[in-house]
Amino acid sequence: MMNQNLLLIVGLEATCWENHIAPSGCRQSVDEMEIIEFGCVIATRSGEVLDKRSFLVRPRVNPELSPFCQQLTMISQAMVDATPLFTAVVPEIDAWLSQWPGLTYWASWGNYDRRHIEAQSMREGVMPDFMRLLHLNLKTIWKNTTGERKRNGLGSALKYHNLAFEGQPHRGIDDACNMARLLPGMDWCFTSVARTEGCGHE
């Protein structure tokens, strides 16, 4: 039975480099970057967090995190060295989510996370089960609810509601938890719009 009141919120962190140039010499993109954290939160549409978990991932192509990436995310080399590769983490995520049957939606702030998961899943040959759920672009829902078009990053959205960011910036799990705090202020009549506009570049 589908539960349309619950949703999975996902915040990613990925390998990154100063000046946005990957070791290959190419500009960093979803084709060059590798996920190093899935921050996952199960929340109600009213913003109540029911469960949360951070899944760290060891990068395969560029296994050594740049100093810039470590300073930005506060994810150390030792932390990722002690974790499995993407192909092993995906089944862990699937097993954790099996405790929440009937989920209808997964959500992220914008579409970057969805595109990155799709790209890396294609490269690695394994995709998280939640990617089969309907995706909600929370940024689009929030913009349509508030009418705010310019300052629509997660930090700006929190400030709009007089909320301070809780936790460590640039950590997937904390991003996901802060997204949940914004859910009560969203008008869910824009859900279908956020899905149809989900193929944009936000």
Enter the pTM of the model.
Answer: 0.93
Mean pLDDT check: name the lowest of 1-15, 23-37, 60-74: 1-15
Whether 148 contacts 128, CB under 8 Å: no
Whether 162 contacts 113, CB under 8 Å: no
* Token digits of residue 151: 């300052």
Residues 6 or more apart whose Cβ sits within 8 Å of residue 183: 43, 44, 45, 46, 47, 138
Across 165-178, average pLDDT: 97
38 beta partners? 12, 55
pLDDT value at 105 more than 50: yes
* Token digits of residue 36: 């190093």
Q: Which domains does the chain have, with CATH numbers?
A: 3-199 (3.30.420.10)
What are the respective helix, strand and coil percentages of the chain, to the nearest 5?
45, 20, 35
Q: What distance, in Å, lies between the first and last C-alpha atoms of the chain?
A: 31
Give how far Cα 18 sits from Cα of 27, 68, 71, 149, 175, Å.
11, 6, 11, 29, 21
Whether 54 contacts 37, CB under 8 Å: yes
CA dist., res. 113 & res. 94, Å (int):
17
> pLDDT band for position 5 (50/70/90)?
confident
Bigger pLDDT: 188 vs 43: 43
**pLDDT at position 179:** 98
pLDDT value at 201 more than 60: no
**pLDDT at position 197:** 52
Helices (H) and strands (E) in the chain, counts: 8, 5
Task: Evaluate the CA torsion angle 81, 85, 90, 92 in order and state its sign.
Answer: negative
